[in-house]
Chains A and B, each alone.
Chain A
Amino acid sequence: EVQLVESGGGLVKPGRSLRLSCATSGFTFGDYAVSWVRQAPGKGLEWLGFIRSKTYGGTTEYATSVKGRFTISRDDYKSIAYLQMNSLKTDDTAMYYCTGGLRLDYWGQGTLVTVSS
């Protein structure tokens, strides 16, 4: 069974950093791109960025809204992906999801990040 489990969310003050993890199982993680998506309260889903598989260079792409602040990385040995979020703003308050596959085939259940003073 494919599983993606996000962790690392919580309450953080504006300007601070947070790193989310996405632990995966049930599929060949190294063969898959991983994307991060978020949904702010009362808002729609927003794609944040993705990291390609090593086969395709392991490079990353980001949404304009988070480019320069957020960084996606991966550890294929541990089958874990990460989302490093710096200089957090109150607008970054959202449920954060990781997904597997270029077509966002598989999703985790999300981890809640609240940015508030």
Chain B
Amino acid sequence: DIQMTQSPSSLSASVGDRVTITCRASQGISNDLGWYQHKPGKAPKRLIFAASSLQRGVPSRFSGSGSGTKFTLTITSLQPEDFATYFCLQHNNYPPTFGQGTKVEIK
């Protein structure tokens, strides 16, 4: 199975900050990666697909980059509604595997 190593596991940030979260794959996965936002009690919501494509309706402050083994989710100018857990998912190889998640908390 492909291992997805996500970092950091948590971070504290203020409204307006720029936040960067990274996922590294144990082998190349092309751009077969998605980023998700998950709030407690809610359905996880995909923000980015194909590593860098913004899901329709998702604010442009979210962006994704990377290919192969290293991927990044960036939130420019963090907003109050962005405090949540974020995780990556690779679907290049079965089984699909997930990063461990990054909890973004208010500083």
A residues with a Cβ closer than 8 A to B are: 4, 35, 44-47, 61, 63, 97, 102-110
**A residues less than 8 Å from B36 (CB atoms):** 107
Interface pair B95/A109, CB less than 8 Å apart: no
* Given A44-B100, A109-B41, A104:B95 Cβ within 8 A: no
Kindly state the separation between the CA atoms of A107 and B39 in the bound complex, as whole angstroms: 12
Nearest chain B CB to A60 CB, angstrom units? 12
Question: Interface centre among B87, B98, B101, by most A CB within 10 Å?
Answer: B98
Interface pair B44/A61, CB less than 8 Å apart: no
Is B103 positioned at the interface, with any CB of A under 8 Å from its CB?
no
Interface pair A105/B41, CB less than 8 Å apart: no
* Given A44-B98, A47-B97, A103:B44 Cβ within 8 A: no
* Given A47-B96, A47-B97, A103:B42 Cβ within 8 A: no
Interface pair B46/A104, CB less than 8 Å apart: yes
**B residues less than 8 Å from A108 (CB atoms):** 43
Kindly state the separation between the CA atoms of A27 and B43 in the bound complex, as whole angstroms: 16
B residues with a Cβ closer than 8 A to A are: 32, 34, 36, 41-46, 49, 87, 89, 91, 94-101
**B residues less than 8 Å from A4 (CB atoms):** 43
Nearest chain A CB to B37 CB, angstrom units? 11
Kindly state the separation between the CA atoms of A106 and B44 in the bound complex, as whole angstroms: 8
Nearest chain B CB to A86 CB, angstrom units? 20
* Given A97-B44, A109-B42, A61:B94 Cβ within 8 A: yes
A44 partner, pick from B41, B42, B46, B101, beta carbons under 8 A: B101
Nearest chain B CB to A18 CB, angstrom units? 21
Interface pair A107/B43, CB less than 8 Å apart: yes
Interface pair A110/B87, CB less than 8 Å apart: no
Nearest chain A CB to B85 CB, angstrom units? 11
Kindly state the separation between the CA atoms of A3 and B101 in the bound complex, as whole angstroms: 23
* Given A97-B44, A110-B43, A105:B96 Cβ within 8 A: no
